[in-house]
Amino acid sequence: MVNLKSTQQLKAFLGGTLCQVDIKAIQSELNALWLKASTGSPDEEHPQVVRACSANLILYTDRDDAEKADADLLDDILQQHPARAVLAICRPVTEFNKIEAWVSARCHIMGNGSQVCSEMITVLSEGPTGPELISVIDSLLVGDLPIFVWWTIDDLNGEKIAPFLVNAKRLIVDSSRAPYSFSFMRDLQRLVETTLDCIHVSDLNWRRMLGIRAAIAEEFDRAPMTASDLQKIKKVKLASCGQELNADDCSIQSLLVLGWLASRLGWEPVSFGKEGEGKPTVAKYSNGVEVTFSTTPMTHVAQGSVFEVELEMEDGKKLRVSRDPSGEAGSLVVSLKENGNAIRELLADDSDLSRVNLVGFELEELTADCIFAQSLSAAVDLIELLEAK
């Protein structure tokens, strides 16, 4: 084990190099290192260091390349949102169990020439996730600062996640990891329900649709459309991106869009599923609204992401919001027609879909997203109809 207080290790630490530390003395080693970094004489290679931390961010992963890929991802996030980041890597093994830790600083230069630095602590657990890993992570968190847990594995088992959430403010997941998994949606809904009073649960896949949801909502505030036209919707078409034409047509993201519409407008589902071999998935509601799902083959776009939403009203108006077919984020095409005649076509801003920005938004939000919870619940209501057949 190396001595972090040496000048050589100080340079390695500030340069972003992982330095292995005694698992039982991480905090004391970090305190000594930051003291030396902040009181030492600044030079051209290592200018004055300012330590910054506004939150605790735990990224839980089982990726084989986590030490590189997830660490780089956290590095990008920390440049915009200074925090104490804990990269918790869990890899089950059969031969033996062990737990190790490394620390590094993530720094960037400010306009005044000083270094603003956050710290990243990597904890590797090989073997079953047990109390030891939880205890190590808990001991590393900065008191009085909010705790965000970013869960990046597909298993949303409540018993497995619960120990990480004891003092957490928000749990971040990403349903795009399982774009067509109804069981993932059910598990996510169960998590939201069981943590409603203490922890805010958010889905990056839901935030990716902010641009589409905003574009739809704004059209009903712009002449000739009015809010009353919302009650005239009779058909909805949802197209999501697949790798091939015969892929599943009903993705989690498309269900969340529909759940948003249904929960906002009070639609009650009566049926959901395919109406025959080779037929599309269709959802029907008690007020007569019919929703049809389809797949658009686009190999360069994330599988399951919503590509187009079309709303048809009783009076002949048809509103379509679609993403750039080139697959480039940044703009949406919004078109409004009435009885086949174009009324207008315009571009609307789409959200930046990078995970760095998506997680950054979550770190700035400390309140619950009630609309997400209600939209997810409405989507799961459809799944329960399907399973009741």
pLDDT digits (tens, 9 = 90+) for 58-69: 999 988 899 889
Q: In what order do the strands lie in the sheet with 290-297?
A: 269-274, 281-285, 290-297, 233-242, 306-313, 317-323, 331-338, 341-349
- Helical pair 252-265 and 370-387, crossing angle rounded to 10 deg: 110
Q: Is the pLDDT of residue 387 over 80?
A: no
Q: Is the pLDDT of residue 330 over 70?
A: no
Q: Which two tokens mark 322?
A: 């679609």
Q: Is the pLDDT of residue 1 over 50?
A: no
Across the chain, what does the average pLDDT equal?
84
- Partners of 334 in the beta sheet? 321, 346
CA distance 366 to 346: 34
Stretch 162-181: mean pLDDT: 91
- Percent of the chain exceeding pLDDT 90 equals 47
pLDDT digits (tens, 9 = 90+) for 144-154: 899 999 999 98
CA distance 28 to 101: 14
**Position with higher pLDDT, 155 vs 19:** 155
Question: By three-state DSSP, how is residue 174 classified?
Answer: coil
Stretch 218-241: mean pLDDT: 94
Model pLDDT, residue 95: 64
- Partners of 308 in the beta sheet? 239, 322
Burial status of residue 128 (CB atoms within 10 A of its CB: 0-12, 13-18, 19 or more) = exposed
Model pLDDT, residue 128: 62
Question: By three-state DSSP, how is residue 57 classified?
Answer: strand
Q: Is the pLDDT of residue 259 over 50?
A: yes
Q: Which part of the chain is CATH 3.30.360.10? A: 210-387
Question: Are the beta carbons of 3 and 9 closer than 8 angstroms?
Answer: yes
Q: Give domain 210-387's CATH superfamily.
A: Dihydrodipicolinate Reductase; domain 2 (3.30.360.10)
